[in-house]
Amino acid sequence: MPEARAGGCEGDRAGAPELFGERFAADPYPAYAWLRENAPVHRATLPSGVSAWLVTRYADARRALADPRLSKDPGRHRAAEHASGRVGIPGERGAGVMTHLLNIDPPDHTRLRRLVSKAFTPRRVAAFEPRVRELADGLVDGFAGRGSADLIDEFAFPLPIYAICDMLGVPREDQEDFRRWAGMMLHTAGRRGGVGRAVKHMRGYLGELIHRKRGAPGEDLISGLIRASDHGEQLTEEEAAAMAFILLFAGFETTVNLIGNGMLALLRHPAELGRLREAVAAGDEGLLASAAEELLRWDGPVEVATWRFASESLTLGGQRVAAGEPVLVVLAAADRDPERFADPEALDLGRGDNPHLGYGHGIHYCLGAPLARVEARTALAALLRRLPALRLAVPAEELRWRGGLIMRGLRSLPVEFAPEGAAGPAPASAPGNAATRAPGNAAGGPRAGTGT
């Protein structure tokens, strides 16, 4: 089997694609199409130097995501020691937040997921939807009258930070810290030390917050995690902190990218943009919901599922995977597989048969999917309702993507639109309020040009 290297592909196959370079980051889909057709389970050397198997066909990907022989716990596998420090979230081990759902297997995973599900309920998410709408409109208020904005910096970045902080129960006066730490992750994500420092700050704060809420619980998610119990079992303080951390970490960058990638897709497909704008104006919730799913399939925020390791030798897509070897399921490739999706390269906001893998599959299916759906629908509706004649402010080929393996997202998304007549001040509780806005930045998000 030829092995793809960072920036290139070795082997005897004509037309083998280059992987992981700047051109690949801008549009990886032609390379993924070649891999699906010619090397669907492909051993590659990643930019970090770690060698892993890339799974690109939908059927193989779906099986791999649910295969109990593919472990999520890197500590269990001696053969994965060469990858130490180069897989997972930088700094999570040192900060003591390893015991979350993305890093454990049954039976620990079963116990933790059952406990967390008692706190992170669909009912809690549904009750939070009006607050997400308030946050989205408050952010749009900050730039609607100007006629231009960077939708990453001023909207897609701060919205999920405020939303998940509110849901977790982080006091408003402390949310600036979380926004700054999240910005550090995006600014320094090519340099693991910077991300690790942000993780350490978050962990320290969450530990203090959990301690305070044990004495004075509220109706927020952290209080719910503390109260959650099953057959006399409860989350330990370390487990509660790790779960709060992963809900924050996983819930913010994925939503940033979902909004950014989705809006770029719409701006590059004006007919579909117009179709959705009309649906929003008419209150068509059905098309809005299917649009959010199609945008996730077509150019989703998570390009590659998080790390898995073979707990025993197994065969995957005709390839023999040795015990301990890393396996990466390429969601972006699987979700454009013509064997599963009709006309997969087309963006069809009304697509009905759409079992995409954007939220995963199996026991690790994304626990935060209901919140992500609420945020995506709310964000799209707010932007299309409030920003007439919305268009890109620069040619699409000038946009730059943040480097990285797992996530796929834009550095910035500059747009222009017809200015709103007289945008009023942001509500007192909205993040655009002067009392909570970070100085020197319209929404306190990362500057254009940050990397991951």
Mutual orientation of helices 237-267 and 270-281 as an angle, nearest 10°? Answer: 110
φ, ψ for residue 216 (rounded to 5)?
-140, 75
Q: Which among 109, 100, 108, 51 has a CA at the least distance from the CA of 80?
A: 51
**Is 414 in a helix, a strand, or coil?**
strand
What tens digit of pLDDT does each residue of 327-380 get?
A: 999 999 999 999 999 999 999 999 999 999 999 999 999 988 999 999 999 999
Cis peptide before 107 (omega within 30 of 0): yes
- Kindly give, in sequence order, each residue whose CB lies less than 8 Å from that of residue 351, ignoring residues fewer than 6 positions away: 290, 293, 294, 297
DSSP assignment of 326-337: EEEE-HHHHTT-
What tens digit of pLDDT does each residue of 371-397 get?
A: 999 999 999 999 999 999 999 999 999
**Residue 190 pLDDT exceeds 70:** no
Q: Which among 25, 41, 17 has a CA at the least distance from the CA of 405?
A: 25
What tens digit of pLDDT does each residue of 199-250 get?
A: 888 888 888 999 899 888 888 999 998 888 666 778 888 888 888 888 887 7
Handedness of CA 409, 205, 105, 363 (dihedral sign): negative
User: What's the burial of 67, exposed, middle or buried (CB within 10 Å: 0-12/13-18/19+)?
Assistant: middle
Contact between 287 and 349 under an 8 Å Cβ cutoff? The reply is: yes
**Residue 87 pLDDT exceeds 90:** no
**Residue 2 pLDDT exceeds 80:** no
> pTM (2 decimals)?
0.86
Contact between 308 and 103 under an 8 Å Cβ cutoff? The reply is: no
Q: What number of other Cβ atoms are within 10 A of residue 225's Cβ?
A: 25
DSSP assignment of 144-178: TTTTEEETIIIIITHHHHHHHHHHHT--GGGHHHH
Tell me the fold of 4-416: Cytochrome p450 (1.10.630)
What tens digit of pLDDT does each residue of 47-79 get?
A: 888 899 999 999 999 999 999 999 998 776 554
What tens digit of pLDDT does each residue of 103-119 get?
A: 889 998 998 898 888 88
What tens digit of pLDDT does each residue of 245-285 get?
A: 888 877 788 999 999 999 999 999 999 999 999 999 999 99
Which amino acid type is present at position 217?
P
Task: Give the model's pLDDT for residue 94.
Answer: 54
SS3 per residue for 231-280:
CCEECCHHHHHHHHHHHHHHHHHHHHHHHHHHHHHHHCCHHHHHHHHHHH
